[in-house]
Every structure is written in C-alpha cells, then in structure tokens.
Amino acid sequence: MPVSKASGVLRLLLESRFRTRKKEEADLFFVPAYVKCVRMLGGLNDKEINQTYVKVLSQMPYFRRSGGRDHIFVFPSGAGAHLFRSWATYINRSIILTPEGDRTDKKDTSAFNTWKDIIIPGNVDDGMMKTGATVFQPLPLSKRKYLANYLGRAQKKVGRLKLIELAKQYPDKLECPELQFSGPNKLGRVEYFQHLGNSKFCLAPRGESSWTLRFYESFFVECVPVILSDQVELPFQNVIDYTEISIKWPSTSIGPELLDYLASIPDEVIEQIIGRGRQVRCLWVYAPDSEPCSTMRALMWELQRKVRQFHQSAETFWLHNGSVVNRNLVEFAKWKPPMPLP
C-alpha cells in the first residue's frame, strides 16, 4: 500500500500538464523518495537513510533558496516523515503529503502540520473505482442484513475491542466477524466488499493511527462511514464538508447508544448521505489531474494555495537590484553544491 501510493503520486505528477522541466519556471518542487520501500527491503538502515537525505538536499540550490518551503515530500507509510530522523531540522518547513496526521515519534513529536501539510486519501482497490462494472455492486438498503459493521482486526485497540464485544451483544444489528488474512479461510477481496456492503453503516475505528482505509472504501460500497477516531485528519477539507457525507461519533461512547442512534436515522436520510458521498468519492481516485474529479485534481487545488511569490530562508539574501545571493554574496545562479543547508 505505501509503495503503490508513493509511486502513484510520482507517476501522475510526471504525466501532469502542470509539470515543467525548467526549474526557473516551477512554483513547487516534488522530491521523489521510496524511503519506506528501501527500509523494508534492507537497502539502507535508518542512519544511512538520514545521511542520504541530507546529502541529496545539500545538492539542491532551490531547496536552500527557500529553506524547503516550496518542496514537496511524500511519506505514505504509518511512520510518516519520522523515517527521515532529521526531518525536524531539514524539512520542517516543507510540504509533506501523508495519509496520517497524528503519527508521533518516541518523543511524542508529530511531523504533521495542518497549516502546511496535506492529507492524501488511502489507496482503495482499483476494482472498486472503475466506472461501470466493479468487483462489487451496492445493495439496496432494504436488502442489507445488518445495521452496521466493523471489518478488521482488534489489534488490542480499545475502540475495536468495544465493537467486537458490542457485536456479541447485538449480533443481529452489528456484524463484526473475526477476519482471517491468511490460510484457507482467508477472506478474499470480493467477499470482503460483500461483507462491507451488507450494512447501512460502516464503522471506522482507530487502529495503530487515526486513519483507516475502511473510511474510503465505504463510499464505493455505498454505506455511510461512521468515524470512531477522535484525532482523525481528513483530506481536502477546503472543498469537502464531511458533515454532509459521513458521521463522526465519540470513541468514548461506543456502546448500545451508538446502535440506537444509527437505527433512528430514516432510510431516506441515509440515501441522501450516500448520494452526496457518491458525488465526491472521485476525489479518492488516483487518476490524472486532467480528469474533472480525482485525487490529483484536488491535490493541485491544495498545492495552488501554497504557492508563494517570494522565497527566502536564513541563508538567502537579496540586493538593491533584485539579485538573490548567499551569505558570501554569491548570486543564486552561481551557487555550487554541496551547499550549507538552512
């Protein structure tokens, strides 16, 4: 999942009509890196990853010019920017793309800043996002067996454990099967979506972090997502009103009162919520920005808001004639790497 998301963003940016090969024309600079992949495959250890980042950044004059403010990094895994141990020193001003907004390190320090960084959607199964025939066709509300469901592992997380216990008390209302992800009883992707779409509401509790892929999948099986994750950060809040397409319920109130509340919502209201979700779910699809509605189109909207007319850093200076120079009064065009980083 993390690798496909990182490579998908890079591929779509390479194909983008907004891309330029002329650095002097660019408003923003995307820095491709597959650090999670490299780490998982044992290509580099954490210390080597850190050294590599610093070395690469020191070769980038435009990074030094702005202090990294106009540079974009993608960290799609759970660890986020913490995979680069010195992120707080070198890229704390840069724009970070990540699906998770609350991951912290051992010092409880978060790399996500809601004022500069961008939450990107999870990577939903391609078979669910195709126009027309998909791996699953949504059922009419009247034919759905359950009021709500939770499909996932407990992972010793309080909210998930509460849902599992609640399903034992109300098995006719809440489906919460013990999923097998390996072996002969492994749940296939079609069966998974069939379970997910057999309820009116899809519950999305917190796991290792605040985000969950089930939130995005809910829009394609057409159940109403119910967020049970208090710290969740959601994508593209500049253009989406999430009160129109989902429900967020306090994770401290997971119990019979949740099921009673969901049961009180009329089917016609549920249909309206699903219908509004149907209009915006294209924003979860990693398609080219030439499409009228896609993740990349929304990402471009977000990035446009971050474009600056002027660039500066602690190591950038300028003179009366408008020329940009470094601390030694060398003009920007003549800066030679490696360069001291701001």
Report d(CA 127, CA 146) in Å as an integer.
24
What local confidence, expressed as pLDDT, does residue 6 receive?
A: 62
Estimate the crossing angle of helix 213-221 against helix 189-196, to 10 degrees. Answer: 80
Looking at the whole model, is its pTM more than 0.85? Answer: yes
Query: Apex CA 84: angle with CA 63 and CA 112, to 5°?
Result: 80
Ranges for all domains in the chain classified under CATH 3.40.50.2000? 126-284
Report d(CA 303, CA 297) in Å as an integer.
10
Residues 6+ apart with CB under 8 A from 47: 85
What local confidence, expressed as pLDDT, does residue 4 receive?
A: 53
* CATH code linked to domain 126-284: 3.40.50.2000
In this structure, are residues 103 and 79 in contact, taking their beta carbons and an 8 Å threshold? Answer: yes
Report d(CA 329, CA 317) in Å as an integer.
8
Report d(CA 308, CA 310) in Å as an integer.
5
Strand-pair category, 118-119 with 146-149 = unpaired
User: Hey, which residues does 203 pair with through a beta bridge?
Assistant: 226
Strand-pair category, 95-98 with 71-74 = parallel
Q: Select from 70, 1, 5 the least CA-distant residue to 33.
A: 5
C-beta atoms surrounding 182 within 10 Å: 6
Report d(CA 190, CA 199) in Å as an integer.
15
Q: For 165, phi and psi rounded to 5 degrees?
A: -65, -40
What local confidence, expressed as pLDDT, does residue 3 receive?
A: 47
Token pair 């890079």 is found at 10
> What tokens does 125 get?
């199964």
Helices and strands (H and E) in the chain: how many: 12, 11
Report d(CA 280, CA 275) in Å as an integer.
9
Residues 6+ apart with CB under 8 A from 198: 139, 144, 145, 146, 149, 175
User: Under DSSP, is residue 269 helix (H, G, I), strand (E, B) or coil?
Assistant: helix
Per-residue pLDDT of the chain (342 residues; tens, 9 = 90+): 344 556 678 889 999 999 999 999 999 999 988 888 888 888 899 999 999 999 999 999 999 999 999 999 998 877 788 889 999 999 999 999 998 887 666 667 788 999 999 999 988 877 676 655 567 889 999 999 999 999 988 888 899 999 999 999 999 999 998 777 677 777 788 888 998 999 999 999 988 778 888 999 999 999 999 999 998 999 999 999 999 999 999 999 999 999 999 999 999 999 999 999 999 999 999 999 889 999 999 999 999 999 999 988 998 999 999 999 999 999 999 999 888 776
- Report DSSP letters for 143-163, one per residue: G-SEEEE--S--TT-HHHHHH
C-beta atoms surrounding 269 within 10 Å: 11
